[in-house]
Amino acid sequence: AQSVSQHNHHVILSEAASLELGCNYSYGGTVNLFWYVQYPGQHLQLLLKYFSGDPLVKGIKGFEAEFIKSKFSFNLRKPSVQWSDTAEYFCAMIVRHSGGYQKVTFGTGTKLQVIP
Amino acid sequence: EPEVTQTPSHQVTQMGQEVILRCVPISNHLYFYWYRQILGQKVEFLVSFYNNEISEKSEIFDDQFSVERPDGSNFTLKIRSTKLEDSAMYFCATKLLADNEQFFGPGTRLTVL
């Protein structure tokens, strides 16, 4: 069965520090990968996605992620975090198969707290 | 920019009562989903709906749950007899085509007392 795991449950950083959040998935076939962000009191928003092509994808707000197929990983990075990045980050996966009957499988989430 | 909307934003109900959560998808979207997030836990898939029928459902989606598109616009999730453990944030998501990303609504916080 497919699954997504996120290594860090809670990360605390100072402003301007660099960020890397780990994400690994388990599935033998073709996958689409996503990072979602959930700011306090708000709904899930898409940060970035990987469908195919360049494995280094850039998203909104200066975030990027790199798909490394050999490691089944899709880590999220940002060179310099801001206080406004405080949120919960979810890695997610869609398994591609015919019929469009797809569901998103989410990781457990990483709470990021940025200290001013 | 079009977005998915959900009502109500917060629903409080007594155990055993029926609740209906409503979602208005983005216009022309064809695939519909419900997810839930119990406080402190990850977002879990409940059900997907396409062409007026359930296409996939999780083990969470038991006989107490049902979905429908009664008027071709709203997409509803009904919980027939709520339990304490149904307390969660329920997210609706929709997408246009098979390969598109899903767009999530803001969620409905369900509290079962």
Q: What is the count of residue pairs from A and B with beta carbons less than 8 Å apart?
A: 56
Q: How many Å lie between the alpha carbon of B31 and the closest alpha carbon of chain A?
A: 8
What phi and psi, each to the nearest 5 degrees, are found at residue B18?
-90, 140
**Beta carbons within 10 angstroms of residue B36's beta carbon:** 23
Q: Which residue of A has its CA nearest to B38?
A: A108
Q: What is the mean pLDDT of each run of 10 residues along chain A (116 residues)?
A: 88 96 90 90 84 91 95 96 95 74 82 94
The predicted pLDDT at position A30 comes to 80
Asked if B45 and A51 come within 8 Å (Cβ–Cβ), the reply is no
Q: Are B92 and B25 in contact (CB under 8 A)?
A: yes
Nearest residue to A63 (alpha-carbon basis) of A90, A42, A40: A90
pLDDT at A100: 52
Q: What is the pLDDT of residue B109?
A: 93
A49–B50 C-beta distance less than 8 A: no
Q: How many CB atoms lie within 10 A of CB A64?
A: 16
Which of A43, A49, A101 lies closest to B55 in CB terms? A101
